[in-house]
Amino acid sequence: MSDQDYSWVDDLIGSMEDEFNPSTKVNADQLEDGSYVFKVENMELEKIESTGTPIVRWTLKVLEGPSCVEAIVERTSYFGKPVALNILGSDLTLLGSLPRDWKKDNVPLAKLLVGAVGKTIGKVFNGRKRTNANQQTGKTYHNISVVSLKKSEESDEAPF
C-alpha cells in the first residue's frame, strides 16, 4: 500500500459507526434451523411481476433464537392456490389477525385478508425455521412457520 494518508477514512467511518451493521438483513438460509421469536415489522400484499402470482411479503425481526438475533429476515407467503391460501389463513388466524369463524359474518375473504395484513404488523410470534430439500428437483427450501402468538407480558388475555 502507498504512503498516502487515509486518516479521512477513519473519520468518515467513525461518524457512521453507530449505524453500521452489515448483518442486520439476512436471508432465511442464514438462520439456523430451530425455534425463534419473531416480530412482524411489515407486511405487504404483492404480485410477482413476471408471473402474476399473489404473495404476502413479511418483514420479520428476529427477537430470540439460535442465530441472527436482531436481524431482519423476509418471509414470502404464496397464496395463488387453495393449499397455500389455507396455510396463509392459518398463520393469520394463529396470530389473531383473521377470525377463526370468518364465514359467519358473510364478509368476503379477500376483504378480511387485506385487513388482516394491517392487523399483523407489530405482532410477536413463536416460529420455527426448517430447511427442507426436494428430492425430485434438488432445490433446498428455507421455511419459516408460525407456531403461536407470543403472549404479551402486559396482557393475560388470550389473543383471540
- Beta-strand runs (E) in the chain: 25-26, 34-47, 54-64, 72-78, 124-133, 140-149
CA distances from 75 to 51, 56, 145 (A): 18, 8, 9
Name the band, by pLDDT with cuts 50, 70 and 90, for residue 24. confident
Question: pLDDT tens for residues 53-89?
Answer: 999 999 999 999 999 999 999 999 998 888 998 899 8
C-alpha span between 125 and 37 (Å, rounded): 6
Q: How confident is the model at residue 18 (pLDDT cuts 50, 70, 90)?
A: low
Which has the minimum average pLDDT: 9-13, 42-46, 65-69, 135-139?
9-13
| Fold for the domain defined by 21-149 | OB fold (Dihydrolipoamide Acetyltransferase, E2P) (2.40.50)
Over pLDDT 90: what percentage of the chain? Answer: 55
What pTM, to 2 d.p., does this model score?
0.77
**Would you kindly state where each structural domain of the chain is located, as residue ranges?**
21-149
pLDDT computed for residue 48 by the predictor: 92
R_g (Cα) of the chain, nearest Å: 20
